[in-house]
Amino acid sequence: MIPRPIVQFLPWIATGSLMALAWVGWKLRRAWEGLRAAQRAAQLERALREFGDLMRDAERPEVHAHELLQALHQLGGLPAAALLRPSCGAQDVVLGEPDANALAGLELCADSGRALGPGTAHHAGEPDLYLPLRGRDAALGAVTLRGLGAAVLAPDHLAHAQALCDQMGLALQRRCVQDAARQSAELAEMQSTRNAMLAAISHDYRTPLATIMGSASALHAQGERLSHEQRQELAARIVDETTRLVRLTDNTLQLARLGAPGVSLRCDWESAEEIVGAALRRVRRRPDGDRVKARIEPELPLLWCDAALMSQLLDNLVDNALKYSPATALVELVVRRVGEQAMFAVRDRGAGIEPAWRDRVFDAFQRGDLAAFKQRPPGAGVGLAVCRAIAEAHEGSLSLRPRGHGGCSFEARLPLREAPELPEAVA
């Protein structure tokens, strides 16, 4: 039997126990809610970090816009759409299926750079949520969650959605800055090439033009008083300098044409023997043309190439070899098969090229170290640049290989393709 004094306190003890249990339950509930909030925050942080890594490594961030829309759809459970301005001056890209009102809202959000709709400080009564893709100084598009209405996103979800959009906006702005930098570099390179071309024209055109003018003037004014040998010498000088001008003009124009986007070649199935034979016939007209000897591997397959461009490539390489080698040294033109490529090699026994210049000689208006020559050989430094452009236009390459006992071997390699079968002759 419970003593009477204790019985009097039983209601208070029971009430205290219930209050203690309620307090413990409240603390447990608060702890559980805190744990769930922490887990949700960690999940959102991980998703934001992964999306940020994706944007940082993306060369074209706009191709990952669908991942952004998918993440927003999972966050709000509503259809999403986007308006992207991927690069400077580019046309806007619309993703999803926004109607006219939603598209107008996307444009307003992108132009203002502010969030619009439920849970924001602007146009909170609108049914759709609009979030800008913010860069550092401008918005490069916007996204929308359609039909949110009065169901405002939780503050952490809204902040997470805006952070995802900001990652995309920063990536798009970085792409825009890179495009602008590349365009500026291309413009600067174009301006530098134009300046170099003008300098080459003013220098390398002036000398042959002066020679042609002087020889022609002499023939015109004193032709009757000159001997036959003198007239022949002046006429030959005019022909040589005119040929040099034609070659320089052809190379300069070809370099500009091959450097233009979308250039097309006039390719056909050609025989290496015919291309080399035509080059030899042209070089034999030169006083030193007998120095060139050709060697062609038998039974080479037909080449898919532009014969005119390949002729220009060989003419330039042979002309270089003759100019930069001793007057008594042979120049070899070798054509053979190397794996799945055809190699056209022009080899000389000249002074060679210093290692520091072996890559730069293929750049336009670069002529290497001419200190070994008593008299500067004529030229503007365009020929090898044209040769490389011709080889690359054929999906091939042009390289320089120093020879063991002095001299250089310039080797143009073109891919071999399977020629079509000829139709059988009708009996």
pLDDT tens for 30-68 read 766 665 655 565 666 776 677 777 777 777 777 778 888
The CATH number of 261-370+379-415, from 3.30.465.10, 3.40.50.300, 3.40.50.2000, 3.30.565.10, is 3.30.565.10
Please give the C-alpha separations between residue 81 and each of 65, 69, 106, 386, 406, in angstroms, as whole numbers.
10, 7, 9, 49, 67
Q: Report pLDDT digits (tens) over 242-298.
A: 877 777 777 667 666 666 566 678 888 999 999 999 889 888 888 888 899 999 999
DSSP structure string for 204-229: IIHHHHHHHHHHHHHHHHHGGGS-HH
Residue 169 has pLDDT above 80, yes or no: yes
DSSP structure string for 288-343: TGGGEEEEE-TTPPPEEE-HHHHHHHHHHHHHHHHHTS-TT--EEEEEEEETTEEE
Give the per-residue pLDDT at 203.
58
CA triple 80-84-90, angle to 5 deg? 160
Give the per-residue pLDDT at 424.
57
Stretch 406-413: mean pLDDT = 91
The torsion defined by the Cα of 25, 28, 34 and 35, in degrees rounded to 10, comes to -140
- Tokens at 92, concatenated: 């806007």
Q: Which residue has the tokens 């992207």?
A: 84
pTM score, two decimals?
Answer: 0.49
- DSSP symbol at 113: T
Distance CA 323, CA 325 (A): 6
Strands 292-296 and 331-338: parallel
Residue 406 has pLDDT above 90, yes or no: no
**What mean pLDDT, rounded, does the chain reach?**
79
Instruction: Give the Cβ contact number of residue 409 at 10 Å.
Output: 17
The CATH number of 39-179, from 3.30.1330.40, 3.30.450.40, 3.40.50.300, 3.40.50.720, is 3.30.450.40
Q: Say if CB 143 and CB 164 are below 8 A apart.
A: no
Distance CA 226, CA 234 (A): 10
Please give the C-alpha separations between residue 297 and each of 176, 273, 344, 395, 416, in angstroms, as whole numbers.
52, 9, 11, 22, 14
Distance CA 240, CA 8 (A): 131
Sequence ranges of the domains in the chain: 39-179, 188-245, 261-370+379-415
b or e along 285-296 (b: 16 or more beta carbons within 10 Å of the residue's beta carbon)? eeeeeebbebeb
Contacts (Cβ under 8 Å, ≥6 apart) of 1: none
